[in-house]
Amino acid sequence: MRKVAPYLVTGPFAIVLAFPFYWMLWTAFKTDQDLYNVENVPYTWTHGSPTFHNISFLFSDTQYRTWLQNTVIVGIVVVAITLAIALPAGYALARLSGQVGQSLGVGIFLTYLVPPTLLFLPLSRVIAELGLQDRLLALVLVYPSFTIPFSTWLLMGFFKTIPRELEDAALVDGASRLRTLRSVVFPVSLPGILTVVIFSFSLVMNEFVYALTFITTSSQKTISTGIYTELIRGDVFFWQGLMAATLLPSIPLALLYNVFLDRFIAGFTGGAFR
């Protein structure tokens, strides 16, 4: 019973969480005749299904490849900016500011909670003033506003779990603070850093409001708005294309999560008991 219990608890969760992906996979290969026939069992393929037409439509009739590329570019640059700022900030808040650091950490996290639906109007003014409308740079500039607060907060908690003695030993051995960070603190913080990388990249991939309001040129769109624009036309939804377009980028991301799952969990729970 002890062996079975975890499966009984997690099994239903796994089924519920995996079902949307299963549905996407199944729908992505359906023909119109199959999809819209209410007499069909939806979990089978009939009436000419499976078809690869929906996938080839994405690559031949839309700028899907470009949107994927844009998403990757923005994601990588934003992750780099996030790490460059959140790593030292998180460390400083954890080590150097004591109680003040704790309060500042909470304050920074609170800024993460301000929703984009409130911020997009004033930010659109800023983007316009900077002449960045319809440029990927607009997203590169704005996305760190929500990835940095969360990452700083997360890393702050993680750095607190690293024993001070490790750093003290390095400092006693003559290493500078920077060297200590580079050679001692960051290597043991890899789970936290990986968590920030994966989480920030996921946030960038999923972001919609800024991408919608700052970018309208097709060739500059990211996946979240590109597929929404091209595959929802008025009141006509191209369901199979939508499913295929969302399924494809989620596969590498899911694999990445799985490869680093242990470290990801360690990164998230690192500061939980401090």
Partner 1 sequence: MTQVTDEVTRRELLRRAGLGAIVLVYGGMGAKTAVAGAPKFAHKQLKGTLRILQWSHFVPAFDKWFDNTYTKVWGRKNDTEVIVDHISQAELPARVAAEAAARKGHDMVATLAPLPQYEDLAIDHKEIVQEVTKKRGKMANVVHRSIYNPKTKRYFGFADNYAPDPLNYRIDEWRAVGLKPTTWDNVLKAAPRLRARGHPIGLGMSNEIDSNMFLMSLMMCFGGFIQSREHRVILNSKGTREALRFARELFRRGMTNEIFAWTASSNNNGMIAGRLSLALNAVSITRSLELSNTELADKIAFAPMPKGPHGRMGLEHVMHTYMVWKFASNKKAARKFLADLEITYRGAFLNSKLYNFPAWPNAVKNIRRPLMADDAKPRGKYGILDTISRKYTYNVGYPGTANAAMGEVFDTYLIPEMFARVAQGRVTPDAAAREYHRRIGRIYAKWRKRGKI
Give me the phi and psi of 236, to 5 degrees please. -105, 120
The residue among 112 and 228 lying less far from partner 1, judged by its C-beta, is: 228
The residue among 1 and 236 lying less far from partner 1, judged by its C-beta, is: 236
The residue among 61 and 168 lying less far from partner 1, judged by its C-beta, is: 61
- Token representation of residue 203: 């946030």
- Token representation of residue 265: 């969990």
Considering only 21-29, 31-39, 83-91, 167-175, which stretch makes contact with partner 1 by CB under 8 A?
Answer: 31-39
For position 253 contacting partner 1 by CB under 8 A, the verdict is: no
For position 204 contacting partner 1 by CB under 8 A, the verdict is: no
The three-point CA angle 19-22-23 to 5° equals 85
221: left (phi over 0), alpha (psi -120 to 50) or beta: beta
List the alpha helices (DSSP H) in 39-97.
53-61, 64-91
Q: How far apart are CA 224 and CA 203, in angstroms?
A: 11
The residue within the footprint of partner 1, chosen from 91, 146, 230, 245 (CB under 8 A), is 230
Q: Quick one: which of 206, 80, 92 has its CA closest to 148?
A: 80
DSSP state of 220: G
- Segment 104-133, which members bind partner 1 (CB under 8 A)? 120-122, 124-125, 127-129, 132-133
The residue among 80 and 253 lying less far from partner 1, judged by its C-beta, is: 80
Rounded least distance, CB 200 to partner 1, Å: 13
Q: What are residue 233's DSSP bridge partners?
A: 236
Rounded least distance, CB 182 to partner 1, Å: 14
Q: Please give the distance of CA 237 from its chain centroid, rounded to a whole number.
A: 25
For position 262 contacting partner 1 by CB under 8 A, the verdict is: no
Residues in contact with partner 1 by CB under 8 A are 32-33, 36-38, 61, 66, 69-70, 72-74, 76-77, 80, 120-122, 124-125, 127-129, 132-137, 140, 209, 212-214, 216-220, 225, 228-230, 232-237
